[in-house]
Amino acid sequence: MIIIGSDHTGIELKNKIKDYLKENQRRFIDVTDFPDQTGDDYPDIAQIICKQVLKNDSNIGIAICGTGIGISIVCNKIKGIRAALCVDEYMAEMSRRHNKANVLCLGARLKYFERFENVETILDAFLNSFYDGGRHDVRIQKISDIDKAKGGV
């Protein structure tokens, strides 16, 4: 299942992505479909999204804020989350194949994303790529070890 959410800056982009996911018969849940998001804060939004992502190993998150930076910082503080802030197709593919990313972070205010086709390319690369395993396992285990040592959320 795809878990999608945004802060107030990303509502428009989120809605376009939802339409795109529908067109492509992708199942998703919008966990930030609130009547009023005025002045919400990306740290809260990141936690709402990640909590849902962690409910199932096969879940994937799409987390949006203005730059994608704030939300990715917070997502990556949550145990079990490997969030990737991607601005091109290559990053999106490799984040899945090598980093086993389970959350894609996007910046709604990026000039580059004014062309929605650029977002589509990143979404396709992320959603159609899968973890390579093999030599990457030891690295992913090291990330989990840091999570464990840290305690936290």
Instruction: Please list the active-site residues.
Output: 65, 98
70 CB-near residues (< 8 Å, 6+ apart): 7, 42, 43, 46
Name the residue with the smallest CB distance to ligand RB5: 70
- Binding mask 11-50 toward ligand RB5 (x if CB under 6 A, else -) reads -------------------------------x--------
Q: What is the 3-state secondary structure (H, E, C) of the chain?
A: CEEEEECHHHHHHHHHHHHHHHHCCCCEEECCCCCCCCCCCHHHHHHHHHHHHCCCCCCEEEEEECCCHHHHHHHCCCCCCCEEECCCHHHHHHHHHCCCCCEEEEECCCHHHHCHHHHHHHHHHHHCCCCCCHHHHHHHHHHHHHHHHHCCC
Chosen residue from 2, 3, 5, 9 binding ligand RB5 by CB under 6 A = 9
Considering only residues 132 to 151 of the shown chain, the ones binding ligand RB5 according to CB under 6 A are none
Report in angstroms how near the CB of residue 141 gets to ligand RB5 at its nearest: 30
* Contact mark string toward ligand RB5, 72..111, x via CB under 6 A: ----------------------------------------
5: contact with ligand RB5 by CB under 6 A: no
Q: CA-to-CA distance for 51 and 9, rounded, in angstroms? A: 21
From 11, 28, 37, 66, residue interacting with ligand RB5 (rule: CB under 6 A): 66
* Window of 65-73, 95-103, 112-120, 133-141 that interacts with ligand RB5 by CB under 6 A: 65-73
Can you give the binding site for ligand RB5, defined by CB under 6 A?
A: 7, 9, 42, 65-67, 69-70
